[in-house]
Amino acid sequence: MQKVKKILVSQPAPADYEKSPYKAIADKFNLSIVFKKLFHIEGISALEFRKNKINLLDYTAVILTSRNAVDHYFRLAKEMRTQIPISMKFFCSSESVAFYIQTYIQYRKRKIFYGKQTTADLMEVVTKHKDEKFLFPCSEESNSDVPMAFSKAKLPLKKAPMYRTVPTKVVGELDIDTFDMLVMFSPVGVKSLFENFPGFKQGERLIATFGASVAEAARQAGLTVNLLAPTPTSSSMVQALEEFLNDLSKHGWDLSKIADKYAYQKESNIGKATKSDAKVVKEVAVKSKKSIESKVAANKAAALAVIAGKKGGRISQVAHAQK
């Protein structure tokens, strides 16, 4: 294949592109990166939400895992003229989401709790409040592992779709045939690609996806995923992208020469598409940890063998055995 010269990243451009890692990649490999989100968030109307027969005040606690969830929870409350009581408890997936609530309420006057980042962290906080009735604002197509975590903990949780992800029309704004690589972050982004460009053919174009669910959506659409992040050595897409391009450039942009390194992504990770992306990230971290632990154990064993050899006056024999 030819050198990658132009990449489409289906996300908004970084606030400060000049200082972003994407700019560093563009400079390093002398390529162009175009940012264009292929989908947008659309709120569910109050009328439509009422059809689900969910009364916000029937719940004493709210689980918030994103800014979108925060925005649409308070939007619907306002549209339905529902006054959220000061006694309402908010459990957030991270500190940043918790602080974002200040956009709508006075932080210091509310009961707000948050985990470090993962669902497991969040559940450690939630399980200290088992008597609450929990509401989970989310998107219609949510594949979050939060409901499963609540079920495992035997805690009540009501899933409340409040917004949806919708393909964005980009026809006329993008010439898809000019890109050598597409970087996708949502199954809806994959859907949008084919809605905007019905005759799209991958050809030699590279496809990168973040998360197993996105990779599975791409596979079902007939695409070949060349890079699936996160990887055992890169937790973010930008890190994985740099590693992947670095490998390609070292091998003269010959994709076949790095197939063995990335082959596991097609069979192993995509096969786990029914699992949440958070679980995939966790599994990657566990594999990496086990690899490091095995190396440490091997080094420790070798050191003990040398020490034993010294005590027995058999240093030369140990050295010979290590060879």
pLDDT in tens, 110-142: 789 988 878 888 999 999 999 999 999 999 888
Q: Tokens 């990449």 correspond to what residue?
A: 7
pLDDT, tens digit, 9 for 90 and up, residues 91-103? 998 888 999 998 8
- Segment 227-250, tens digit of pLDDT: 998 888 888 899 999 999 999 999
- pLDDT, greater one: 285 or 74: 74
Q: How far is CA 38 from the centre of its chain?
A: 17
Residue 178 identity: T
- The residue assigned the tokens 């006329």 is 172
Instruction: Give φ, ψ of 286 to 5 degrees.
Output: -65, -45
Integer CA distances (angstroms), 227 to 10, 184, 218, 236, 243, in order: 15, 10, 12, 12, 10
Predicted local distance difference test score (pLDDT) of residue 242: 96
CA distance 1 to 75: 49
> CATH fold of 6-38+168-272, please?
Rossmann fold (3.40.50)
Give pLDDT, residue 87.
92
Q: What is the pLDDT of residue 212?
A: 83
At residue 276 the predicted structure's pLDDT band, cuts being 50, 70 and 90, is very low
pTM here? Answer: 0.65
Tens-place pLDDT, residues 28-85:
999 999 999 998 999 999 999 999 999 999 999 999 999 999 999 999 999 999 999 9
DSSP β-ladder status, 157-167 and 39-43: antiparallel
CA 42, CA 52: separation in Å to the nearest integer?
17
The conformation of residue 132, written as its DSSP 8-state character, comes to S
Q: Which CATH class is domain 42-165?
A: alpha beta
> What's the CA gap between 44 and 121, in Å, rounded?
29
Domain boundaries, the chain: 6-38+168-272, 42-165, 277-322
Q: CATH topology of 6-38+168-272 equal to that of 42-165? A: yes
Give dist(CA 188, CA 218) in Å, integer.
10
pLDDT tens for 165-190 read: 889 999 888 999 999 999 999 888 99
